Amino acid sequence: MRILLRRSAVPAVQIAILVALLGAWQVAVDTRSISVFFFGSPSGTFRELYEWIRRGTVQGPLWQQAWVTMQETLAGFGIGVVLGVLLGTVLGRIPVLARIFTVYIGTLNSVPRIVLGSVFIIWFGLGMGSKIALAVVLVFFSVFFNAFQGAREVDPGLIANAKVLGAGRGAVLGHVVLPATFSWIIASLRVAFGLAITGAVVGEILGATQGLGLLIEQAQGNFDPDGVYAGLVVTTVLAAVAEGLITLLERRLLRWKPRRRAAPAPTT
């Protein structure tokens, strides 16, 4: 009974902590302990958000800005994941190719990729293309290395068993290599989605005509901390929703994996 009570109390405590932190911030601003000019305030952020939702932003309706950023994120995520999985699996299964190409991929991986954002804006202009490209580069590497590792470390015993049971090349790939690699890939998707949003927003901050990153950048230019926070809140909500969806997908695809603590196995 006491344990039950404690468990149900956890969310309440979590909310209480959040309220206390925001409250302290608001009080600090109201009593002029910190400058509202530099640090903004929770109430100001809330007001700004409310305005965006009700009247729209300087750029147009909020949903339009969010949709632009989401499109860039999704396109970058999709292209990056497909490229990462394809190349990772191929290089993982064909050692000769891996020996040739790992040098290049390793070197490219060491390039601070955010800087490429500037290059992409020159190449692809201020539209969506440059943001998608930046998201792709960020996503690709995180997925590639997981797919590569996963494809390389497929248990040879499982492959031998499939062969003896009658599996041809295609069946070995579909029934053994891909499922084994999947658990590695899926583990990387959540991080990859965060990186895709980062790529899209940073791309917009560097130079854009629309999007949440542009809103943040303009607020920064106007010395409006509340506007920056509001942009952050919207971005975070989108990221959280996407993460939830990926978690659902993960549960579905990795049903066969033991949960953190497996149910006790029945004895023979």
Partner 1 sequence: MLELRSLTKRFADPAAGARTVVEDFDLEVRPGEFCALIGPTGCGKSTVLSMVAGLERPSAGVILADGAELAGTDPRTGFVFQQDNVFPWKTVLGNIAAGPRFRGAGRAEANARALDWIRRVGLAGFEQHYPHQLSGGMRKRVALAQTFVNDPRILLMDEPFSGLDAQTRQIMAGELLELWESLGASVLFVTHDLEEAIALADRVVVLTARPATVKREFTVDLPRPRSPREIRFHPRFVELHEEIWSSLSDEVQIAYARATTVS
Smallest gap from Cβ 172 to partner 1, in A, equals 9
- Between residue 120 and residue 159, which ones bind partner 1 under the rule CB under 8 A? 155, 157-158
- Between residue 230 and residue 249, which ones bind partner 1 under the rule CB under 8 A? none
Smaller CB separation from partner 1, 176 or 197: 176
Smallest gap from Cβ 157 to partner 1, in A, equals 5
Binding residue (CB under 8 A) for partner 1 from 15, 111, 160, 245: 160
Binding residue (CB under 8 A) for partner 1 from 96, 165, 169, 261: 165
Binding residue (CB under 8 A) for partner 1 from 179, 187, 191, 232: 179
Contact criterion met (CB below 8 Å) for 180 and 196: no
Q: In this chain, which stretch among 51-59, 107-115, 196-204, 256-264 interacts with partner 1, using CB under 8 A? A: 256-264
Compute how many other C-beta atoms are within 10 angstroms of the C-beta atom of residue 64.
Answer: 14
| 7 lies in the site for partner 1, by CB under 8 A | no
* Nearest one of 179, 233, 170 to 201, comparing CA atoms: 233
Q: In this chain, which stretch among 23-31, 39-47, 167-175, 203-211 interacts with partner 1, using CB under 8 A? A: 167-175
Smallest gap from Cβ 150 to partner 1, in A, equals 13
Residues that bind partner 1 (CB under 8 A): 155, 157-158, 160-168, 171, 175-176, 179-180, 182, 255-258, 262-263, 265-268
